[in-house]
Amino acid sequence: MAYGGLPVAMIGSASASTLRQVKLDRESELRIEVANETPLRIRLLNGNAEIFGTELPPEIWLTFPPRLKFAVFTWCGATIELDGTTETDYTADETPMVSYVNVHVIWEGGETVPKHLFRRTLILLSNSGKSTLSRMLLSWAAKQGWKPTFVDLDIGQGSITVPGCIATTPFEMPIDPVEGIPLEIPLVYFFGHATPSNNVDLYRLLVKELAHTQEKQFTGNAESRAAVMVINTMGWIEGLGYELILHAIDALSANVVLVLGQVYHDAFHFDVLAMIFVDLYFDETSEIPFELHAGKSGVLSRDTKVRQKARSGRFFMSTEEHGIFNDLHVYRIGGGPQAPRSALPIGADLVANPLRLVAVTSDQVQELIHLVLAVSYAEEPD
């Protein structure tokens, strides 16, 4: 765990007014948004508390970077000390933590779930705290000695790696509250867009390939296979997005669906859930139990502009220029719109294939500004 802290000189010169204590009652939490320019230090003075399912060590300062949002939760009561400024912080005693930990207890299974069974879950709906719940479930499972797996299909944000990718990674320890998800051995597939609608066929192919590779890895790893796999999906649940959710459920063999969000007060979301229930629960080949949970109280809704700003702040900070384009072979996946085969002459192949590699020439280099490129280890373009 990264215990870090400010340099000694900075600690000594810190204004006494920046130090303050917050007492938390049982089953309450302190919600914090760190200031935009300066880090924040916190430590646990007494009691027990956790961040995203990871327990805080007593009397040790943790330093959180600017703009980070998190919550410190306690089951039995705690006193937290803060050093620094925040954009906002407040306490709340209405949280869904009891229902969240109940999901974990059910997964633990006791005598009711044979440990050789592979238990998986799929978490749905946008702006509802699903990334936070994912981290909690993974940390709680790791704390109990399991080796859970995290699959992130949300290409708009990217919890494991940069946005525009789908990825999976195993866990052996609870998630560090400061450093986040470990990146030692992730399996990453580069999609290259912030939304699947730019190339749906490619997105489907990558999800299927990730699932296939994951199954091969589980073949030789009984511990990971027996543990829970948490699958974090996109928030796109309309039209094509709904079809992609069903595709993910099928490809990754999800057998539990956790739905987050204020679904009982949103007629549209309720209709979508009803469609999933009909399409999967009444499918003769499906054995998918559904778990419905209300969204996390206090979650900040993030629109498209907020998500785009968050991506830029995390990954696009360098302004260095390097004139090495002529030393690279750059390709774009997808050759434009795909015409229906019925419109082609007999025996003709599709010219615009969404999975075809198209070379990017030097006169198109301006099109690559502000884009992320993936490095391929393939020896040949094909």
Q: What structural domains and CATH numbers belong to the chain?
A: 8-92 (2.60.120.1030), 113-312 (3.40.50.300), 318-368 (no CATH)
pLDDT band at 365 (very low <50, low <70, confident <90, very high): confident
* Sign for the pseudo-dihedral over CA of 161, 162, 163, 166: negative
The mean-pLDDT minimum among 20-34, 49-63, 208-222, 344-358 falls in 344-358
* Confidence tier at 3 by pLDDT (50, 70, 90): very low
Considering the chain, what is the average pLDDT of its residues? 77
Q: What local confidence, expressed as pLDDT, does residue 339 receive? A: 54
8 A C-beta contact, residue 24 and residue 91: yes
**Choice between 346 and 65, residue whose per-residue pLDDT is larger:** 65
CB-CB contact of 137 with 228 (8 Å): yes
- Copy the structure tokens of residue 66: 């600017």
Using DSSP bridges, classify how beta strands 331-333 and 187-190 pair: parallel, antiparallel or unpaired.
Answer: unpaired
- Please give the structure tokens belonging to residue 15: 């204004």
Residue in 218, 202, 15, 7 with CA at minimum distance from that of residue 120: 218
Q: 213 or 350: which carries more pLDDT confidence?
A: 213
pLDDT band at 279 (very low <50, low <70, confident <90, very high): low
pLDDT surpassing 70 at residue 277: no
Does residue 258 surpass a pLDDT of 80?
Answer: no
Which position has the higher pLDDT, 148 or 357? 148
Judge whether 83 and 17 are in contact, CB under 8 Å: no
